[in-house]
A and B are shown apart, each in its own frame.
Chain A
Amino acid sequence: GAVVSQHPSRVICKSGTSVKIECRSLDFQATTMFWYRQFPKQSLMLMATSNEGSKATYEQGVEKDKFLINHASLTLSTLTVTSAHPEDSSFYICSAWGWGGTDTQYFGPGTRLTVL
């Protein structure tokens, strides 16, 4: 299957700072990537769809000015949590459709964000 990586795997930051999370497709090009958030013992929640070379599409209720998404190349999408607060502490996971037009979505290993 296709490989998706994320960096960092864990991050701890102080309230009010910004945190950038990278998502890379390692062996394929991904014109579309997805960002999810998952709170403990809760289901996956899609935050936004990241489109290479254009603006991201955010799900209802997700603040686009707080969660900045940049998809500058076919292998890299970044999510920046701006002015993070403790309630932003969560597990952030990216995913991408596999290569060759396959409709299978592959997930990165996730980034656990803790805001103090």
Chain B
Amino acid sequence: QKEVEQNSGPLSVPEGAIASLNCTYSDRVSQSFFWYRQYSGKSPELIMSIYSNGDKEDGRFTAQLNKASQYVSLLIRDSQPSDSATYLCAVRTDQGGSEKLVFGKGTKLTVNP
């Protein structure tokens, strides 16, 4: 069974700080990695996708990928209370001949004003 692991948290940071979210995955051949944000009672929304080793920046968000270590992370700079949500790491993988996303259980982030 291909797995994605995240620290469940909760992770609490003060407003303006950097929030760091981590994820490891088991499928060595995976090439596509995603971070979703899910507010309470809402469906997940895509924040970032990353496909190559290194960093990818989009506004206050930076995704980092290290395929050798099978590790993906998301940094949120200048954290805002509106960033408080559960962050889901997802890996595209082939299971049983069909492509699907495997999700981690999510890390709950709270940004304190």
Contacts and interface: CB of A to CB of B under 8 A. Distances in A.
Interface string A7-46: 0000000000000000000000000101000000001101
A106 B49 CA distance: 12
Contact of A108 (B43, B88, B100): B43
B46 A1 contact: yes
A106 B92 contact: no
A106 B46 contact: yes
Nearest to B88: A44
Contacts of B34: 104-105
A43 B36 CA distance: 13
A34 B92 CA distance: 13
Contacts of A46: 100
B32 interface: yes
A34 B46 CA distance: 16
- Say which size band chain A's interface belongs to: 10 to 19
Contacts of A107: 36, 43-45
Looking at chain B's contact residues, is the secondary structure mostly helix, strand, loop, or mixed? strand
Interface residues of B, number: 22
Contact of A44 (B49, B98, B103): B103
B101 A105 contact: yes
Interface in A94-116: 103-110, 112
A49 B100 contact: yes
Interface in A70-109: 91, 93, 103-109
Interface in B19-68: 32, 34, 36, 41-46, 49
B98 A93 contact: no
Interface in B79-113: 88, 90, 92, 96, 98-101, 103-106
A103 B100 contact: no
The 3 closest A-B CB pairs, nearest first, are A43-B105, A110-B43, A107-B43
